[in-house]
Amino acid sequence: MTLEVHEVGASVLVQDRGRPGWAHLGVPRSGALDAPAAALANRLVGNPEDAACLEVLMGGLVVSSDAGAWVAVTGAACRVLVAERAREHGAAVRLPAGATLRLGRPVAGLRSYVAVAGGVAVEPELGSRSSDTLGRVGPAPVAVGDRLPVGPPAGTPAAVDTPRPPRAGPLRVSVGPRADRVDGDALDLLCRTGYTVSPDSDRVGLRLAGDAIPQRHYDELPSEGLVLGAVQLPPDGQPVVFLADHPTTGGYPVVAVVDERDLWQCAQVRPGERVAFTRAARR
C-alpha cells in the first residue's frame, strides 16, 4: 500500500521516536515533537508506538491510498475529512481505497499526527525514519506528488477510549549545569517570569520572550554537550528550550532542564501564547 500526497500545508514530516544515541557524532535525536500524540495515533490504528507517522504543521495535508486502511489523527485539534465527509479526531477511521483524507487548520495547537495502520515505511537511516530538520538526516519533508510506502498492519484498530495524552500545565524544570552563571537563583527567575512564544520557534528550539534573565558573566563558554529539554540562555537573556532537532553542542550556558514528560507542550504552543515554568519535584 502507498499514500499519495496531493496537498501539504506549512510542513509535513515523517517522524517516529527518533534516533537517540548518535549525539557523539553530531546527529540530533529528532522524532515526533508531541510524542504522546504520535503514540496515541499509532495505538489507535494498531501500530506499535514507535511506528513512523506524519507530523503535520497547521493542517493542509491531503492524501489518498491505493488500498483501504485505518488512519487516525491526533495532536492539534483539526477538522478531519474522509471523502469530504467529517470524521472523528482522535479515533481510528477507515480510509477507503481511492478516497482522500484531508486535515483542516487546527483550532488550537500547531502539530497534528496522522498514523496509518502498518506505519509509514520509508527507508530508515541510523535506525530511525525520522526527518531531522537541522542535520538533514532521514527523509526529506513530504512534498506534493510523493508516494509514501506503508507497511503491513501489525494489529487491529483500538477503541477511541485509548489512554489520552497528559494535560497541559507549567513546564517542570530542574537546575542546569551552568545555573551559577545567572545573577540570582536561575530556577526562581525562570519560574516567576512570564514568557510568550517567539515566532522564531521551530523543531530546534522553543524561543521565549520576557524579562531578560541577568547573568554574572557574558563570555561564551567552550562548546559543551546539550540534552533534550536544555534551557539555554543567550546573551540577550531570553531562554531557549531545546527540542528534538537541537544541536548536540553549544557555547551558551544551560541554566535549567525541562522535564522530558512536559516537552510535548512545546510542540503545540503558538507564537504569542504564554509559557510558564515551575520547579520539578524532587524524586
Model confidence over 164-214: pLDDT tens digits?
778 899 999 999 999 999 999 999 999 999 999 999 999 999 999 999 999
Residue 242 domain flag: yes
Same domain? For 142 and 175 the reply is: no
In terms of DSSP bridges, do strands 92-95 and 69-75 run parallel, antiparallel, or are they unpaired?
A: antiparallel
Same domain? For 48 and 114 the reply is: yes
Position 250 pLDDT exceeds 80: yes
d(CA 135, CA 28): 7
Position 163 pLDDT exceeds 90: no
Residue 57 domain flag: yes
Q: Which residue has the cell 484498530?
A: 157
Q: What integer pLDDT is reported at residue 219 of this predicted model?
A: 80
Residue 122 domain flag: yes
Q: What integer pLDDT is reported at residue 164 of this predicted model?
A: 77
Same domain? For 40 and 175 the reply is: no
Helix, strand and coil content of the chain, in percent to the nearest 5, comes to 10, 30, 60
Residue 269 domain flag: yes
φ and ψ of 190, to 5 deg = -65, -45
Same domain? For 205 and 258 the reply is: yes
Query: What value does the mean pLDDT of the chain take?
Result: 95
Same domain? For 79 and 48 the reply is: yes
Same domain? For 90 and 44 the reply is: yes
d(CA 160, CA 169): 24
Same domain? For 32 and 126 the reply is: yes
Q: What integer pLDDT is reported at residue 259 of this predicted model?
A: 97
Position 41 pLDDT exceeds 80: yes
Residue 161 domain flag: no
Which structural domain range is residue 207 located in? Answer: 171-279
* Grid coordinates given for 171: 513546564
Position 99 pLDDT exceeds 70: yes
Same domain? For 132 and 9 the reply is: yes
Average pLDDT score over residue span 105-125: 97
Same domain? For 100 and 7 the reply is: yes
Same domain? For 142 and 191 the reply is: no
Q: What integer pLDDT is reported at residue 283 of this predicted model?
A: 65
Quote the pTM value.
0.96
Question: Do 61 and 102 contact (CB within 8 A), yes or no?
Answer: yes
Residue 254 domain flag: yes
Q: Give the whole-number percent of the chain exceeding pLDDT 70.
A: 100
Same domain? For 180 and 243 the reply is: yes
Question: Do 4 and 65 contact (CB within 8 A), yes or no?
Answer: yes
What is the tally of structural domains in the chain?
A: 2
Q: What integer pLDDT is reported at residue 10 of this predicted model?
A: 96
CATH assignment at residue 226: 2.40.100.10
Same domain? For 143 and 188 the reply is: no
Residue 222 domain flag: yes
